[in-house]
Structure 1
Amino acid sequence: MSELSLFFKSIKLPVMPEVAHALIKTMNEEDVSAVRVRDLIARDPALATTVLRMANSAMFGLSQQVNSLDKAIHLVGMSQIRTHALSICLGNAFPIAPGMDRGEFWRTSMATGAYAQWLCSRLSMDMQQAWLTGVMLRLGELIVAQQSPDLMQEIEKRPCAPGERWARERQLTGFSEGEITAELARRWDFPSEMVDGLDAVAQPLAEQEFSRLGAVVHLAGLLADLPDAGPQAVDDLPPAVIAALHLDEKWMRTSLPCSEKFLNVMDMQD
């Protein structure tokens, strides 16, 4: 049994609602109808209400009122509605440990997803899958906090430069948050691309098989650790990872999105 498997035997996994498991299952299927996704979300009235509130938020900038899941899926897109619904389920399933700043945690998580989505717009990758992978990255830290609040405080100790949290996690627990989240994603049957990507986030160039998704979320996580990342932040990103993805640094500087405009689905809940 691997050390990570032993680690998981010592913790109690969060309980995900059946709706979430059903939505995850659709991510592994090629032809999923919008009607099916709508019906799954509709099973949970609270989730459906939050999804509609999200669709009507200023972040989406829709010109008309969205008053049904059908309309939300039509205007926003089935894939985006599905991934955002899953992120809401994950947020509800994972309590924030005492001593952690809930707002800061989810701000960083949502920013990681948004930066990953932005990078994928240049790489012909699945943007919604990248967004959800980025949002999920730090869930592994919440699992560490459940097992050992003291370790979590050491990991979160300030100051913490971008990427330093991953190094602390490996030093103190033997695993990075991405590796822990990857094991969780594997157990919950998320797509293998997401599992492999999460597993590679902390050290994307160390893996035998290069994961573009892992490299994208690596860069996104570094940017998200900077509350006010400007174009100059690109200069501090690892050039080897940028080169491995064949990204244009000039494009990155000129098109880097403003983090203040990122959607935080956790703010949509009552």
Structure 2
Amino acid sequence: MNTPIDLRQAVRNLNSLPAMPLIAQKLMSLKLDSEEGEKQMLLLISQDPMISAKIIGLANSPLLGASRKITAINDAAMLLGLTRIKSVATGIAVMSLVSKPIGRFDPQELWLHNMGVAFAMLPVVRAMPAKNRPQDDLIFLTGMLHDIGYLVLAHLDTRRSDDLHTRFVIEPDRPAIEIERELLEMTHDELGAELAKHWNLPSEIVTVLRYHHTPEAAGAAEGQPLVRIVNITEKLLPPLGIREFVGNQVAAEEWTALGIDPDRAEEIAEQVVEQANQAAQFTNSFS
């Protein structure tokens, strides 16, 4: 019988972690505070057929409600906004790291779930007081990367990744994080944070990846309010992609922590489901 891989040891060996795609590295390093930076970003995206096709598809989806047919990246950028298009393009580049299933882990399911969360976060954010809202680019990037730890697990230890996804199917009403703690010495939120550190992502994003299932933890403070926004959104989300049960009850104090009136919970939940379903339609059109 093979000895299980020590995940804590494996993530210390940086060469064992997936490398960030080159285009994602370039996009992350670009500053959008100058016309030159904006031009470089749009050129980078337009030179990548897969990313540009997905962004143009997104611009034409019901999610954004374009009033006319979008056919060019420049027009898509006008509709999405430059910071958002940068985050979405970076997320798409990262999700293209793995195109085929690794054992029972299907990257298409992760892409579907992460994309759903990225857009379903918006109704929660819009309900917050304007002064408390995170930046648009951070909302999208954290949404699209928050569960990347599942990819890390499949990459490092396919056998235990398979065991985990099998257990998710067998125990669909049990919190996924509990199952992970039984099976693994490092859960997907920890693994995702290690990958984000390896990629030199902003510390705020690292924190969101690490604590999006434990928003009350002391270490989550640097990533607030994004940590809590992701946590609440996942609870409100219909089953989408990865079979990860996180609970479906949001307490009144969780809403008030974001400055949201708990009486708006039902209205926001309906909007979250609508956004997630539209994101799923868009994502499935590229599967």
The 1-side partners of 2:148 and 2:73 are apart by 28
Q: Is the 8 A contact 2:152 2:195 kept in 1?
A: no
Equivalent in the alignment of 1:43: 47
Asked if 1:198 is matched to 2:215, the reply is: no
Equivalent in the alignment of 2:110: 105
Q: CA deviation at 1:30?
A: 6.7
Tell me the amino acid that sits aligned with residue 252 of structure 1. Answer: A
Identity of counterpart residues, as a percentage? 21
Equivalent in the alignment of 1:136: 145
> Where in structure 2 are the equivalents of 1:244-259 lying within 5 Å?
244-256=257-269, 257=271, 258=274, 259=276
The 2-side partners of 1:260 and 1:152 are apart by 27
Tell me the amino acid that sits aligned with residue 233 of structure 2. Answer: A
Structure 2's unaligned 5+ residue stretches are 1-5, 241-245
Q: Is the 8 A contact 1:109 1:224 kept in 2?
A: no
* TM-score, structure 2 as length reference: 0.78
Tell me the amino acid that sits aligned with residue 190 of structure 1. Answer: L
Asked if 1:165 is matched to 2:176, the reply is: yes
Equivalent in the alignment of 1:261: 278
Structure 1's unaligned 5+ residue stretches are 228-232
Q: Is the 8 A contact 2:121 2:229 kept in 1?
A: yes
Tell me the amino acid that sits aligned with residue 141 of structure 2. Answer: L
Q: CA deviation at 1:255?
A: 2.8
The 1-side partners of 2:260 and 2:203 are apart by 24
Per-residue CA deviation, residues 141-191 of structure 1 (Å, 9 max, x unaligned), is 1211222233223322223237x1122223322333222212211221222
Tell me the amino acid that sits aligned with residue 33 of structure 2. Answer: D
Tell me the amino acid that sits aligned with residue 154 of structure 1. Answer: D
The 1-side partners of 2:286 and 2:238 are apart by 24
The structure-2 alpha-carbon separation of the partners of 1:68 and 1:209, relative to structure 1 and needing over 3 Å to count, comes to closer
The 1-side partners of 2:23 and 2:84 are apart by 16
Tell me the amino acid that sits aligned with residue 73 of structure 2. Answer: L
Q: Is the 8 A contact 1:130 1:213 kept in 2?
A: yes
Equivalent in the alignment of 2:60: 56
The 2-side partners of 1:143 and 1:264 are apart by 26
Asked if 1:215 is matched to 2:231, the reply is: no
Q: CA deviation at 1:264?
A: 6.0
The 2-side partners of 1:209 and 1:49 are apart by 36
SS of residue in 2 equivalent to 1:93: coil
Tell me the amino acid that sits aligned with residue 74 of structure 1. Answer: M
The structure-2 alpha-carbon separation of the partners of 1:32 and 1:216, relative to structure 1 and needing over 3 Å to count, comes to farther
How many residues of Structure 1 are paired with residues of Structure 2 in the alignment? 260
Q: CA deviation at 1:92?
A: 0.9
* TM-score, structure 1 as length reference: 0.82
